Structure formats: C-alpha cells, structure tokens
C-alpha cells in the first residue's frame, strides 16, 4: 500500500501541471452534475400537491388602493362592488390562466377556551397568545386559523376529503345565506363530526360554519406568505361569490371587504410575464377596475438561480456531457503519455522485482486518486450543505466516478498488456 | 547453477517475426564470473533478460535444478526478487527518488519492514563508500557514483547472481577499473557474476567468455 501511495504521489508531482488541469476539469464536471441533479431532484419533498404548481410561474396580484381616503371614496360608490365582482368573475372564468386564491383569514369562533382547542387558535405555533375579544357585547370570540380557497386552488392543490363530502360547485356561491359549508383539517376529527355547525364570525359577519367533511392528514398548500401550509389545524372555507345584492349598508361593506380580498390572488402560468401581463391588462379593462397590478415572478419555493438553471437545462446538460468526454480523454491521454515517458523508471522497478501487474496497479491507483479525491470532496460538501436526496446523489456520483475510471483505465491496460518488458529495458538504456 | 538448453527467442517487429536467439546452449557454474559478448543486436541483453526472468524464451532453462521454463512472468518476478541482482545499462535510476529510495526499491518489493530496509541500505551504501549520499538526488551524483549506487541496489537483497548489462559502458577508465574491482570482490565473496560487455578488457577480467553469433553461443 505504501508503495502504491509513494508511486502515485511521485507520478502526480512529475506531471504537476497536467494533473492540476485534470483535477480542475473533474471538479467542474462534478459541479455541473450536482447542479443538474438538484434541478431534477425535487427540493420540496413533502408532498406532490405543492409540486403540481412548482413548474409554473407565479404572479401575485396586488391592489394599489393604499390611500385610505381614496379607498373610502371608492367604497362609498354603489358601482364599486359591481366592479369588484366583475373583476373576480373575469379572473375566475375568463383569464385563460390558473387563478389561485388561497388566503389565510382567521375566523372568530365562540367557545374555544377548551384546552384541546388551543392548537387551532391563530399564531399558536408561533407561541403567541391572542386574547379573545367581545363583539357587540357577545363573546368571547377566539381568533381561529382559517383559510379561504377558490375552486381552482382546491383542485390544483388536490385537497382530498377523507371523511364527508368535498366542496361542489354550488358551495362557491352564496345566495344570501349565513350558512357556509366548510371542511376541517385532520386534527379536528376528534372534536367535531360531519354535519356539526360552528357559530362564528367572518369579517365581523355572523356565520354558521357547516362542517361538510375532513381533509386528509398533511394536506399541503402554498400561499404567497407561506411556502408550506399544512391544513391539519385549519378551517377551510370556500371563496364564495355572493350572487345577491347587499340589502343594507353593513352587508354592502361586508361584501366589498370580501371581494377586495378575493381579487388579490395569484396567477399561475407556464407563459412568460409578458404574455400573462397582457391577459391581465385585458381583464382589467373589461372589468373596469384599474387599481391593481401584477407583481414579479418569484416562486417562493425556488430561488432565481434555479429558475435560470431550469431555463437553460438543455445547454447545461450538453456542457456537462462535453466536460465528461474531455475529462475522460484528458486522463487517458495523460496516462498513455506517462507509460511512454516512464520506461526508465519502470525498468528499474522491473529489475527490482516488479511485474506488469504492479505497474498497472500504479496507473489504476493514480486514476482513482485523480477522480475520487474531488468526488469525495463534492459528496461531503453536498452532504453538509445541501443534503437533499443524498442516497441518490451518492449513487449518481459513484456511478459517474466508476464510469470515468473504467473508460480511462481500459486504454492504459491494453497498452501495458501489449508491451514486452524488454521494450522498457531497451528504451531505458 | 544456470543451464539453458536449445533456447529460442523471437520478437514481432510490425508484421515480421525476428529471431534473436536460435538455440542457445549455456551452462554457468555457481560462483563463476563470466562475460557475454557479441555485436549490437546479437541478443546479449535478451539473453540476460531471460536469465533474470524478465522475459521468457522457448527452450529449457533451469536454475539450481529448478525448471523455470514453465513459470509465469509473475512467478519469475518472485524468482528475480530472491535470486537476481541486476545492474542496468547507463546506471538507470528512478529520477524522482533519492539514493536511499532507489537502493531500497528491491526491498520494498520484497516486503521488508522499514527498520530492516534502513539498516540494509545504510550498510550497502557504506560498502560502496557512498554513506554521505543517502538523501541526495540522483542528479547530484557522478557517473561512477551512480554505477556504485546501481551495484548497491543490485546487492541489497543479497542475491546469488549479479547480472550487469554494460556496467562500464559510459565510464572513464579509472572509474571503469573501480567498478571492475567491485565485481571481482563480489566474485571472491562467492557471487555468480554475468556481465554483458563490448569491452575486451572487461571480458578478460572474467573466467569465461561466451560469444553470441548468429543467435547461438560460442565459447571463446
């Protein structure tokens, strides 16, 4: 073993420049392989649900009604609600892209002071305790985790009901009813049953939440604010379209507040920003509502680097293959050259008791060191810095290293095998 | 000690087969000092390679009554490690190793431990009056010193037979005499010495000279 180590280190020192050049190439190759692997491996391993949208660009809608005075003025106009409703319907039905509305809007519920219900309160996981409040001298109302989702969001996050019934198309319409069907997260199973009614408030309106079913455990959605949101402790409300006109001022204001939320969803599209923006502008024009804008294409789950990589994946793959071929060719050219240039050295080894197997072993060991040293470093870096699908990465890198070693050692083996020892001795003299 | 009967050896050069040795009959007694002479290309070095086990020929080759003809090259490498010391042409050395590591090389293939290697190398270099060169690189040595290092390497594992291929070929007369006297001393100590040479003076110093002509050996 010492002999092998000594001969390999001497050989690498003798051709320092070429060896360093090859080390650099191998490092480049493993870097590219790692990038490609990360791109193909899923970075969000929790569930397939979030991945259905992971390949789409996401564009956040945001109204531009920042000025309170301007907002109050608009809200005082009877036509404002009509415009809001029209915009929402157009976004839902006429945009020709996915319009995803998933917004966490706490519900206010009575009688939530039991110890077993504490986990459902808003900000429980963050360690905050929100004090219950009295509303119109009735209460206390507790702020409870709830999320409102439109039908497209329910479909695309594949929210599955394990007990009870899922939302149907009629549940997304409200014909002047205080009753709203809801689904409950998995952890509510021991507290309620299908058919139970929970009294509460939504946007300060009295609402009866009719429990229609319970969703599957670990159901996952992504929102603009949270890249991972598990629904186990949530009340899931359908984003309802109020078909009736409000009968009084309170109802009018309620519906306005409701729609001002509904129009701030996300557009998910495989088209680039220019195409989506054009469609959105057309919807705005048709709806008569211009106080809204489309924000940038930031996928909360993936950073810009990976988005760029995804864009040029074909080119990167081609570069990686080219670097691989260059590595293989460089290594075996270097090794074959070493066979030719070290006849004198080998002759000394032969007369000292070496045979051709020894000489072959030195070359094999040198190739293994040149390939596996950077490979092991790359694997260790990956394990400590990234650690995503590590076993598959290890298999990929091992296969890569083994392939390079095999392709480079075969020509060397063939050359050594065909040489007669006398040729070494003749050329040593 | 060394007996060869009807030994043949040929090489393939391109598509042609070139016969170098065409039926060598040779017997070398233990403890003798012999020279092998012949023109360039006559097969002197090839014969030496076969004696050392670096190459195989067709025919019978026995060493101390042991038949080596049917041994593999790996088995011959084992034989070489135990019985043969070889001094190459032009004092061939591993350039990247120092004097110590060059001399120690046969011992490393013989799997000796480091302490024994250290002791033996120091003694071998002392015997060649090269104690101060232990950690020098080979490019710092003269031709005569290099040849003595080569002889130290050939003796390090205490072989019975020393083979030398043109050991004085590139040396001045004085150094040549020094090297020759070393071989004579080894001969007096009981080693079997076989020297391939062009030099008549070297051949005259040996007990017997074999000439290779037309692929066969003639006793001179």
Q: B19 lies in a domain?
A: no
Report in angstroms the alpha-carbon separations of A312 from A318, A319, A380: 10, 11, 27
Q: pLDDT class for A194, splitting at 50, 70, 90?
A: very high
Tell me what the mean pLDDT of segment A206-233 comes to.
88
- Number of alpha carbons in the 13 Å side-chain half-sphere of residue A218: 6
Task: State the pLDDT at residue A44.
Answer: 41
**Residue B15 within a domain:** no
- For A6, which residue in chain B has the nearest alpha carbon? B97
- Chains A & B: contacts with CB separation below 8 Å: 82
B165 touches chain A (CB under 8 A): yes
Which pLDDT score, from 0 to 100, does residue A70 have? 79
Residue B26 placed within a domain: no
Closest residue in B to A345 (Cα) is: B94
pLDDT at A379 over 80: yes
Question: Measured at the alpha carbon of residue B51, what is the angle toward residues B47 and B52, in degrees to the nearest 5?
Answer: 115
Q: Which residue of B has its CA nearest to A428?
A: B92
Taking the C-alpha atoms of residue B164 and residue B148, their distance in angstroms, rounded to an integer, is 12
pLDDT, tens only, A12-34:
888 888 888 888 999 999 988 98
Q: Which of B74, B95, B96 is closest, CB to CB, to A355?
A: B74
Phi, psi of A394 (to 5 degrees): -60, -40
User: What pLDDT score was predicted for residue A298?
Assistant: 43
Of the two residues A225 and A309, the one the predictor is more confident about is A225
In a domain, residue B10? The reply is no
Q: Closest Cα partner for A94 from A270, A287, A272?
A: A287
Q: Looking at the complex, does the CB of residue B11 fall below 8 Å from at least one CB of chain A?
A: yes
B77 contacts on A by Cβ (under 8 Å): 353-355
Mean residue pLDDT across chain A: 84
pLDDT (0 to 100) of residue A343: 81
Q: How confident is the model at residue A3 (pLDDT cuts 50, 70, 90)?
A: confident
Within-domain flag for B13: no
Whether residue A311 has pLDDT greater than 80: no
Q: Give the model's confidence band at A305: pLDDT under 50 very low, under 70 low, under 90 confident, else very high.
A: low
pLDDT tens track for A125-172: 888 888 888 887 888 888 899 999 999 999 989 999 999 999 999 999
Q: Is residue B155 part of a domain?
A: yes
Q: What is the residue range of B182's domain?
A: 32-56+73-219
Encoded tokens for A233: 């402790």
Using alpha carbons, select from B193, B194, B147 the residue that is nearest to residue B168: B147
* Residue B20 pLDDT greater than 90, yes or no: no
State whether residue B176 sits within 8 Å of chain A by CB: no
- Is residue B12 domain-resident? no
Instruction: Report whether pLDDT(A173) > 60.
Output: yes
Across the interface, whether the CB atoms of A3 and B108 are under 8 A apart is answered: yes
Distance, in angstroms, between B92 CA and closest chain A CA? Answer: 7
- Segment B181-201 mean pLDDT: 89
Report, as an integer, the average pLDDT of A364-377: 92
Task: State the pLDDT confidence band at B219, using cuts at 50, 70 and 90.
Answer: low
Tell me: pLDDT of A302 over 70: no
Residues A347, B80: C-beta atoms closer than 8 Å: no
Closest-CA distance of chain A to residue B46, Å: 7
Q: Which pLDDT band, with edges at 50, 70 and 90, does A55 fall under?
A: low
pLDDT of B90-138, one tens digit each?
777 888 889 999 999 999 988 788 899 999 999 998 888 888 888 888 8
Distance CA A154, CA A149 (A): 6
What CATH number does the domain containing B46 carry? 3.40.50.300
CB contact under 8 A, B11 and A344: no
List the single best residue of B51, B84, B88 to mutate versus A (max A Cβ within 10 A). B88
Predicted pLDDT at B195 = 92
- In tens, the pLDDT along A233-242 reads 999 999 999 9
- Residue B110 with chain A: CB contacts under 8 Å: 353
Task: Tell me what pLDDT residue A47 has.
Answer: 38
Q: What's the pLDDT at A381?
A: 87
Is A78's pLDDT higher than 90?
Answer: no
Percent of chain A scoring above 70 in pLDDT:
90
Provide the domain count of chain B: 1
Q: Return the pLDDT at B70.
A: 87
How confident is the model over A325-340, as a mean pLDDT? 88
The residue of chain A nearest to residue B94, with distances taken between CA atoms, is A345
Does the pLDDT value for residue B154 go beyond 80?
Answer: yes
- Nearest by CB to A429, from B78, B90, B108: name it: B90
Predicted complex ipTM = 0.89
- Please say if the pLDDT value at position A419 is more than 80: no
Is residue A140 reached through a cis peptide bond, with omega within 30 degrees of 0 on the bond before it? yes
Give Cα separations from B89 to B53, B57, B140, B141, B177 (angstroms). Answer: 17, 21, 19, 16, 17
Of A14, A344, A349, the CB nearest to B105: A349
Is B68 part of a structural domain of the chain? no
> Looking at the predicted structure, is the pLDDT value of residue A68 above 70?
yes
- Decide if A348 contacts B105 (C-beta within 8 A): yes
Chain B window 21-60: which residues touch A at a Cβ cutoff of 8 Å? Answer: 45-46, 49, 52, 54-55
Does A345 sit within 8 Å of B54, measured CB to CB?
A: no
């Amino acid at each position: 073993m010492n002999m092998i180590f000594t001969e390999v280190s001497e050989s690498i020192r003798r051709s320092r420049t070429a060896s360093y050049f090859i080390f650099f190439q191998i490092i480049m190759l493993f870097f590219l392989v790692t990038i490609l692997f990360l791109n193909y491996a899923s970075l969000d391993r929790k569930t397939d649900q979030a991945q259905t949208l992971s390949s789409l660009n996401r564009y956040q809608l945001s109204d531009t009604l920042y000025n309170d005075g301007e907002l109050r003025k608009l809200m005082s106009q009877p036509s404002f609600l009509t415009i809001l409703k029209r915009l929402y319907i157009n976004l839902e039905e006429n945009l020709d892209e996915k319009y995803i509305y998933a917004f966490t809007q706490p519900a206010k519920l009575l009688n939530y002071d039991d110890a077993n219900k504490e986990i459902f309160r808003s900000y429980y996981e963050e360690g905050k305790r929100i004090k219950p409040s009295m509303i119109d001298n009735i209460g206390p109302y507790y702020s409870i985790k709830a999320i409102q989702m439109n039908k497209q969001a329910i479909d695309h996050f594949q929210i599955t009901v394990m007990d009870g019934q899922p939302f149907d198309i009629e549940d997304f319409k409200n014909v002047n009813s205080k009753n709203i069907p809801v689904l409950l997260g998995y952890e509510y199973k021991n507290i309620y049953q299908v058919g139970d009614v929970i009294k509460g408030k939504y946007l300060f309106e009295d609402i009866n939440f009719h429990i229609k079913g319970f969703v599957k455990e670990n159901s996952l959605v992504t929102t603009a604010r949270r890249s991972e949101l598990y629904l186990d402790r949530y009340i899931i409300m359908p984003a309802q379209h109020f078909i009736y006109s409000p009968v009084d001022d309170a109802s009018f204001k309620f519906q306005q507040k409701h729609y001002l939320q509904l129009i701030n969803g996300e557009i998910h599209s495989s088209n680039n920003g220019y195409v989506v923006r054009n469609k959105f502008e057309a919807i705005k024009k048709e709806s008569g509502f211009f106080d809204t804008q489309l924000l940038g294409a930031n996928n909360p789950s993936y950073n810009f680097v990976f988005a760029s990589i995804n864009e040029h994946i074909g080119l990167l793959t081609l570069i990686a293959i080219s670097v691989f071929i260059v590595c293989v060719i460089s290594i075996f050219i270097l090794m074959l050259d070493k066979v030719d240039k070290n006849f004198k050295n080998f002759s000394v080894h032969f007369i000292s008791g070496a045979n051709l197997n020894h000489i072959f072993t030195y070359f094999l060991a040198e190739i293994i060191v040149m390939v596996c040293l950077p490979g092991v470093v790359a694997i260790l870096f990956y394990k400590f810095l990234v650690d995503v699908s590590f076993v598959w990465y290890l298999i990929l890198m091992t296969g890569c290293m083994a392939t390079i070693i095999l392709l480079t050692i075969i020509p060397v083996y063939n050359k050594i095998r065909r040489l007669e020892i006398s040729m070494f001795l003749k050329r040593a003299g | 000690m060394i007996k060869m009967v009807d030994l043949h050896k040929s090489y393939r050069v391109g598509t042609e087969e070139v016969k170098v040795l065409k039926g060598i009959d040779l017997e070398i007694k233990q403890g003798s000092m012999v020279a092998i002479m012949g023109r360039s290309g006559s097969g002197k070095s090839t014969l030496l390679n076969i004696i050392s086990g670096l190459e195989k020929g067709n025919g019978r080759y026995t060493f101390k009554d042991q038949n080596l003809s049917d041994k593999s090259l790996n088995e011959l490498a084992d034989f070489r490690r135990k019985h043969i010391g070889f001094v190459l042409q032009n004092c061939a050395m591993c350039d990247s190793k120092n004097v110590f590591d060059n001399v120690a090389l046969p011992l490393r293939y013989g799997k000796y431990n480091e302490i024994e290697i250290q002791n033996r190398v120091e003694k071998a270099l002392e015997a060649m009056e090269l104690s101060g060169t232990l950690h020098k690189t080979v490019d710092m040595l003269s031709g005569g010193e290099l040849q003595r290092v080569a002889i130290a390497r050939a003796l390090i594992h205490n072989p019975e037979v020393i083979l030398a291929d043109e050991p004085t070929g590139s040396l001045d007369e004085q150094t040549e005499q020094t090297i020759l006297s070393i071989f004579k001393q080894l001969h007096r100590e009981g080693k079997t010495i076989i020297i391939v040479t062009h030099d008549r003076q070297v051949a005259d110093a040996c007990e017997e000279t074999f000439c290779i002509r037309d692929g066969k050996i003639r006793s001179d």
